[in-house]
């Protein structure tokens, strides 16, 4: 395990040390460890009660297009995921109170009945909701901590008045309930310093997440952070290169953890299978094609230019071909995190 100071020195280091880290990460995902897992992402609602300063879905953005999928629409999208031979569905949404505990429990049961592993990503929800959905068959939950700098987090992620819990509570509950837990952070959030970024990387290890999702911050014109330059000389750049370096550090520090090559990274890289390969060649091992129905997909406008505007089926076909040629074949199955299987005492279970 590297110390915070060692990680910070690598981040601000020269291209020779960066190349070395990238080549070590490449080696982590070679041979039998080179398989790539796909997840079918379904963005089930663009309503959100929060006011996050970076996100286009913030409640105050009156120009955002809001939609909420019906039970039937979600199941139809999940069937498309299954037809692409993908083993896991990710149901993601803004923090939408109209997605009731019972509605989600019903969806989880029916998606599970299709033989798909269910991952939820629905924001900060009460303990009883999370417990109910686990009982209904959900296996995994994604909730990024966004930044380990508490002052910065409070600034960009205002608390909901009267809400009796916060994001740290929810992350702790998810673990307690036995979920496979994914968290992560943004690269280049205005105000994020090099020391903050090093602390973000360390936190992923100390918190023991099973999956770590990271991507570059992409400025959205309808948010208060638009045009804000941040921490001056010490500001981390929101670039593809910096994201690749951080992926490589995460893959070498935490080789058992699943790491997606995210849509935000693909967006700054121009989209398509090649753009995802930029993350995979830097240590990522998961891609999440977007199966949100075409008619509403543009409404899930977290940041501009989201690289998801080719159909999921076309992207999956492209990934199957391009990744096989690159020696990183798409592999079927649930794609559990080895970190999760080890910490729950099931090292022999098939990933
Ligand atoms: N740029 C990049 N990533 C963003 N997210 C939200 N807004 C932005 C943005 N403007 C990320 C957050 C959130 C995830 C769903 O999307 O990290 O957790």
Tell me the per-residue pLDDT of 8-62, one tens digit each, with 9 for 90 and over.
999 999 999 999 999 999 999 998 899 999 999 999 999 999 999 999 999 999 9
Tell me the per-residue pLDDT of 212-257, one tens digit each, with 9 for 90 and over.
999 999 999 999 999 998 888 899 999 999 999 999 999 999 999 9
Q: Whose CA is nearest to atom 18 of ligand 1?
A: 144
**Ligand 1 contact, 48 CB (< 6 A):** no
**Ligand 1 contact, 145 CB (< 6 A):** no
Six token digits for residue 236: 């981390």
Q: What is the pTM of this model?
A: 0.97
How wide is the angle at C-alpha 259 spanned by C-alphas 55 and 298, nearest 5°?
Answer: 35
Residue 22: CA count within 13 A, CB half-sphere: 17
Report the pLDDT value the prediction gives residue 44, as an integer from 0 to 100. Answer: 98
How wide is the angle at C-alpha 280 spanned by C-alphas 276 and 281, nearest 5°?
Answer: 115
Q: Please determine, for residue 348, whether its predicted confidence score (pLDDT) is greater than 90.
A: no
Q: Please determine, for residue 308, whether its predicted confidence score (pLDDT) is greater than 70.
A: no
**Ligand 1 contact, 217 CB (< 6 A):** yes
301 C-alpha to ligand 1 centroid (Å) = 10
d(CA 326, CA 315): 16
Find all residues with CB under 8 Å of 131, minimum gap 6, and list them: 177
What is the number of the ligand 1 atom nearest to the C-alpha of 216?
2
Report the pLDDT value the prediction gives residue 199, as an integer from 0 to 100. Answer: 98
d(CA 53, CA 61): 10
d(CA 37, CA 188): 27
What is the number of the ligand 1 atom nearest to the C-alpha of 213?
17
Nearest CA-CA partner of 192 in 167, 159, 228, 161: 228
d(CA 107, CA 88): 14
**Ligand 1 contact, 171 CB (< 6 A):** no
- Please state whether 88 falls in left (phi above 0), alpha (psi between -120 and 50) or beta: beta
Six token digits for residue 37: 């897992």
**Ligand 1 contact, 211 CB (< 6 A):** no
Q: Whose CA is nearest to atom 8 of ligand 1?
A: 55
217 C-alpha to ligand 1 centroid (Å) = 7
d(CA 306, CA 265): 10
8 Å CB contact between 55 and 223? yes
Q: Whose CA is nearest to atom 14 of ligand 1?
A: 144
Report the pLDDT value the prediction gives residue 229, as an integer from 0 to 100. Answer: 87
Calculate mean pLDDT across residues 116-143: 98
Identify which has the larger pLDDT, 310 or 343.
343
Strand pairing class (117-121; 138-142): parallel
DSSP 134-169: HHTTEEEEE---B-S-HHHHHHHSPPPTT-S--HHH
Report the pLDDT value the prediction gives residue 270, as an integer from 0 to 100. Answer: 86
């Amino acid at each position: 395990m590297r110390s915070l100071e060692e990680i910070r020195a690598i981040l601000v280091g020269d291209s020779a040390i960066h190349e070395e880290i990238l080549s070590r990460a490449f080696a982590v995902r070679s041979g039998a460890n080179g398989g790539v897992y796909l997840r079918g992402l379904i963005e089930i609602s663009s309503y959100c009660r929060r006011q996050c300063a970076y996100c286009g879905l913030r409640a105050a953005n009156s120009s955002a297009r809001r939609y909420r999928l019906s039970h039937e629409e979600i199941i139809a999208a999940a069937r498309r995921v299954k037809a692409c031979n993908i083993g896991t569905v990710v149901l993601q949404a803004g923090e939408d109170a109209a997605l009731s505990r019972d509605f989600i429990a019903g969806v989880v049961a029916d998606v599970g009945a299709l033989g798909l592993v269910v991952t939820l990503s629905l924001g900060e929800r009460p303990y009883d909701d999370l417990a109910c959905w686990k009982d209904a068959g959900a296996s995994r939950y994604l909730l990024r901590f966004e930044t380990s700098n508490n002052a910065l987090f409070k600034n960009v992620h205002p608390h909901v008045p009267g809400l009796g819990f916060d994001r740290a509570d929810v992350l702790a509950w998810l673990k307690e309930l036995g979920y496979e837990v994914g968290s992560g952070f943004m690269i280049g959030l205005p105000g994020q310093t090099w020391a903050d970024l090093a602390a973000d990387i360390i936190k992923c290890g100390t918190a023991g997440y099973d999956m770590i999702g990271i991507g570059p911050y992409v400025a959205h014109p309808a948010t208060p952070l638009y045009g804000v330059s941040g921490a001056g000389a010490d500001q981390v750049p929101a670039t593809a290169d910096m994201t690749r370096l951080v992926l490589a550090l995460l893959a070498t520090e935490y080789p058992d953890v699943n790491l997606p090559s995210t849509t935000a990274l693909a967006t700054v890289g121009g989209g398509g299978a090649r753009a995802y390969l930029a993350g995979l060649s830097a240590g990522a091992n998961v891609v999440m094609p977007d199966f949100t129905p075409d008619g509403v997909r543009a409404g899930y406008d977290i940041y501009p230019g989201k690289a998801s505007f080719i159909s999921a089926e076309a992207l999956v076909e492209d990934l199957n071909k391009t990744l096989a040629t690159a020696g990183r074949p798409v592999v079927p199955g649930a794609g559990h995190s080895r970190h999760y299987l080890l910490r729950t005492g099931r090292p022999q279970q098939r990933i």
